[in-house]
Structure 1
Amino acid sequence: MRMQVVRVHCPVSGNLLARLQAGEAAALADDAVLSAVIAVIRGSDVLGAIGPYRGVFELGFGLESFVPQAEAVPTTGRAGEAAVVPTVVVKSYAPEGADIARELAAIAAAHPWEIPVIEVGVVGLVG
């Protein structure tokens, strides 16, 4: 089954990252960006839809690094210096060809970064 895949990189606090890694699901509601992204997925008929399931998403945990240039207006970090931030990657799916423009716009509007990292691609799911 071919699907669109959407990955949204969300900056979080180190404390929130640790809580999520420990399996504390309630922590999802404690971050405005993360909870907004999840609300978009749960409120959509297409994003997060795999067969008879809705609201499907996965979380990946890690660190993200970048070096803002002089013309950047970073939320975190300073121009010319490497920044490393705790990050949660929210991954979800939509049927291939589904119109997810409204969902992507809502996610981008909720994201704090000057240039949000929102990846869209196509994958094949087994099953």
Structure 2
Amino acid sequence: MKFVDIYRVKTFVVPEYVDLVMQGILSIDDLKVGNYRNVMWQSKDGMEQFVPSDESVPTEGEVGEKTTVTSFRIEFSIPRDEALLRKVIEEGIYPNHPWDEPVIQVSEEKEARKHE
């Protein structure tokens, strides 16, 4: 067993875009963990709320009005490589996510690897 440095990436997506965002991510990295690839997690049926400002380009809701939608959390880890992280976000998530400013959270963590 060993510990590896990773980025844990989380984003929140309305259900109809989950597969598209996941495919975008996987087109950049195969998300390998040990002897497995395409390792991702989904947490379903959360609620997301926002109020679009005058400068926003809302996919849902109206400028100045509170909007609440069902969203899923997609979570995955990648090696701690900033160039890869930027590519996953800029080429995998952004072009496939419906929001003009998606929430993407990144943390530096360690993961245990039994088979690496």
TM-score range, shorter chain: 0.7 to 0.9
- Equivalent residue, structure 1, for 2:90: 105
Q: Residues of 1 paired with 2:65 and 2:25: CA distance?
A: 34
Question: Map of 1:41-52 to 2, 5 A cutoff?
Answer: 41-45=25-29, 48-52=31-35
TM-score normalised by structure 2 residue count? 0.77
- Conserved in 2, the CA contact under 8 Å of 1:5 and 1:91? yes
Once the two structures are superposed, the pairs formed by residues 85-96 of structure 1 within 5 Å of their partners are 85-96=69-80
Q: What does 1:75-94 correspond to in 2, within 5 Å? A: 75-94=59-78
How far apart, in 1, do the equivalents of 2:13 and 2:96 lie?
10
Comparing both chains, which one has the higher relative contact order based on Cα–Cα distances under 8 Å and sequence gaps of 6 or more?
2
Residue equivalent to 1:22: none
TM-score by length of 1: 0.71
1:69 Cα deviation (Å)?
1.8
Asked if the contact 1:60/1:89 (under 8 Å) is kept, the reply is yes
What are the equivalent positions in structure 2 for 1:112-127 lying under 5 Å apart? 112-127=98-113
Q: Per residue, is there more strand in 1 or in 2? A: 2
Which runs of 5 or more residues in structure 1 are unaligned? 13-30
TM-superposition CA deviations, 1:15-70 (whole Å, max 9, x none):
xxxxxxxxxxxxxxxx3x2112222344444x522233210000012000111122
Offset at residue 126 of structure 1 (A): 4.0
Number of residue equivalences? 107
